[in-house]
Amino acid sequence: MLPKPQITPGKIIASLIFLSLGMQLIVTSQIYFGNPALFANPLLISVRLLRGILFSFMAGAILVYPNIRIIRWLNSRFPWKNKPLKRFAAQFPVALVGGFVITPMIVMPAIWFFGLDSDAITLQNNLYYLIILNIFLMLVLEALIYSEDSAKAELAAERLQEELVKEAENRAIMEANVKIEREKAAYAHLLMEQEKQLNHQLQEEIRKRELLTNQLNESREQLNSIMSNLSGAAYRCRFDEDYSMLYVSDKINDICGYRASDFFENKTVSFNSIIHPDDREYCRDAISQALQSGQQFDLEYRLIHYNGSVVWVHENGKGIHSSDGNLIFLDGIITDISRRKEAEQAARESEQNFKELMDFLPQPVFELDMSGNVVFGNKAGYAFFGQPSGPGKLLSALDCFVKDDIPRIVESLRRSNEGLLTEPSEYTAIKHDGSLCPVLVFGTPIIKNGKIVGRRGIIVDISERKRQELNLLRAKEELERINNTLEQSVAERTRELTEANTQLLRLQKENLQSQFEVLKQQVNPHFLFNSLNVLTSLIKVDPDLAESFTERLSKVYRYVLENKEKDLVNLSTEMEFLQAYLFLLGIRFMNKIVIDIKVEQSWHDHLILPLAIQLIIENAIKHNTFSRSQPLRIRIFVDKDQRLNIVNNLNLRETRPISTGVGLDNISRRYALISDDKPVFEKTEGHFVARLPLLKPDKVSFEKPMP
């Protein structure tokens, strides 16, 4: 930057001194060159020169400031570059006027002061001298002012340039700022658009998250609901010493009495601590073996309940591994199986009772598979036919009968396997000692899950009946022999005939008793087979009811065994048996039979044929079809003629079973042996009516005393 130009007093005085000196040198040179004699006096020259310099200085001092103002005024009116001639034309008269004005002001006092002579030439010379001095002074001032103005112009130009540069810089900065602002605005607009998009995306994300949150909450509620409705407690735990629980559902409280939160990180109790001490090692070994083989673990063990009781549980789960194969935790579910264990125990007990009941029966009882192999037998059966030849071997039913009977047995098995009805048949059995024995075989299919899987039956030894039949045959032959013998006397023949008739009557009575025994044995197996089928189903479905069913069945069969030798029993005893028998029918037919019993207590001491009511009810079940919508209705009551009425509605089967009439006829014959009052059996339009006499104890005579 140039220094700021300025016309200072020092510059003016220096200019005046140089101008005065120069002017005086010029004037003195002119004077003395015109008059060389003056050089002889140097002092005079010096004085004159000093006086001239002083006058010049004074004159310049007087003119300098007015001239400055005049020049400045001219500079403002006539700039150098625009009006130089006008400027000079105005400046020259001013210089002349200044010379004329200043000459008297300087010369006259100087003449007076120095005592000089004042003549026209002196005044003229001084006038010229001061005019020239003023012109020179104005030129010097003009030069100074021009220099000053130039410096100011340069300074102004420099300042202008600086200002322009600065303005350019500012404009560039401003343009850059504007550009930046525009870019900022564009970027801001872009950011705003992006922000809008982000806000939209954020809103969409929030909506999706809210939707996911709702779905998660719903899923969580569903999961909690599922967890709460699960039969067991779901869990996740570490496979450490305590089985530290990371999660367990609230169902654990129902199982062991502890809350789920009690197990989290072993807060109150560890899961390992409630495992029964005898089962802890078994549980850890079973889980470890399953994890090593990469399989799920499945085990049953005991837990110690909060109240101190023992709870059986079933646990199923698997190990969860990380990507590098390390075991992270165990997932599984724990289910309370105490009731199942109790049911299994009850089933085992029921099965044991069933086996004991079967072993209690005097007749052989068997179960065959589809191939005819014996898969179950009671003690009487194995005592009759013998045990299998070796462990794991089965006894074939065909090996227990003579060869002539095998085709009929095979045909009976085939019909049974196809679900066809088979009738009891007589065969000749081979006992374990090799002896032959006539038997009557009753059988019925074994049905499981709606499928025939075998055959169950009972074998009745009819050797006694065969012997009775042989005795009758021999008696008949003997009578024929007696009738054909005419050589003996009439008395002998009469006596022999009387004895033969007596023996014949006794044999007939024994034969009737034998037929009655056979009938009782015939009825009992049918009843037993049906009851065993029901019991087999109940053992799996309801062990408690199966146990009650077994007790009633045992009571019924015990009654049959205890009263099979009796001709009559009290009605109260028969009614007690009937209640147990009706309970079994109710389980067997499930509300398909409705029995209404109205027998007053006053009739309970009267006598009745044992099993007669049961035989009549079985006869009604055998010949009629019924359902829950159309049940079999049976009424039991005592009429005014002192007869026990058993009345059932008729809805006869379309396919009627073969009826021999042995049962009802045998009841009539049995009553005929002990009383003249006979039972009545009749069929009306819609009912079948059986009227059994109720006998008073004091009007009945027995060959055998009543117990």
pLDDT beyond 80 at 531: no
* Strands laid side by side in the 232-237 sheet: 245-248, 232-237, 327-336, 310-321, 297-304
Q: CB–CB of 427/462 below 8 Å?
A: no
Give all domains of the chain, ordered by start, each with its CATH number. 9-178 (no CATH), 230-336 (3.30.450.20), 343-565 (3.30.450.20), 568-707 (3.30.565.10)
Q: Quote the CA–CA distance of 232 and 68 in Å, as a whole number.
A: 120
Q: What pLDDT sits at residue 598? A: 92
Label the pairing between strands 593-598 and 373-377: unpaired
Q: What pLDDT sits at residue 611? A: 84
Q: Quote the CA–CA distance of 383 and 432 in Å, as a whole number.
A: 8
Mean pLDDT of 491-507: 63
| Range of weakest confidence among 10-14, 191-195, 272-276, 641-645 | 10-14
Q: What pLDDT sits at residue 523? A: 47
Work out the percent of the chain whose per-residue pLDDT is above 70.
66
Q: What pLDDT sits at residue 597? A: 92
Q: Tell me the pLDDT of the chain averaged across its residues.
A: 76
- Range picked from 25-34, 154-163, 262-271 for highest mean pLDDT: 262-271
Q: Quote the CA–CA distance of 565 and 581 in Å, as a whole number.
A: 20
E-strand ranges in 564-696 read 569-570, 593-598, 607-608, 632-638, 643-649, 680-683, 687-693
pLDDT digit string, tens, across residues 67-107:
667 766 766 666 655 555 555 666 667 766 666 666 666 66
| Range of weakest confidence among 305-319, 542-556, 609-623 | 542-556
DSSP string, 249-313: -THHHHHHS--GGGTBTTSS--HHHHB-GGGHHHHHHHHHHHHHTT--EEEEEEEE-TTS-EEEE
Q: Which amino acid, 511?
A: N
Q: What pLDDT sits at residue 43? A: 65
Q: What pLDDT sits at residue 171? A: 78
Residue 704 pLDDT level (bands cut at 50, 70, 90): very low
Q: Quote the CA–CA distance of 129 and 103 in Å, as a whole number.
A: 9
Mean pLDDT of 390-417: 83
pLDDT digit string, tens, across residues 156-196:
777 777 777 787 777 778 888 778 878 878 877 887 887 78
pLDDT beyond 90 at 312: yes
- Range picked from 3-12, 162-171, 217-226, 697-706 for highest mean pLDDT: 162-171
Q: What pLDDT sits at residue 496? A: 67
Residue 519 pLDDT level (bands cut at 50, 70, 90): very low
Residue 249 pLDDT level (bands cut at 50, 70, 90): confident
Q: Which amino acid, 157?
A: A
Residue 705 pLDDT level (bands cut at 50, 70, 90): very low
pLDDT digit string, tens, across residues 641-698:
889 999 999 988 876 655 545 568 878 888 887 888 889 999 988 899 999 999 988 7
pLDDT beyond 50 at 522: no
pLDDT higher for 14 or 589? 589
Label the pairing between strands 607-608 and 643-649: unpaired
What pTM, to 2 d.p., does this model score?
Answer: 0.36
pLDDT higher for 593 or 515? 593
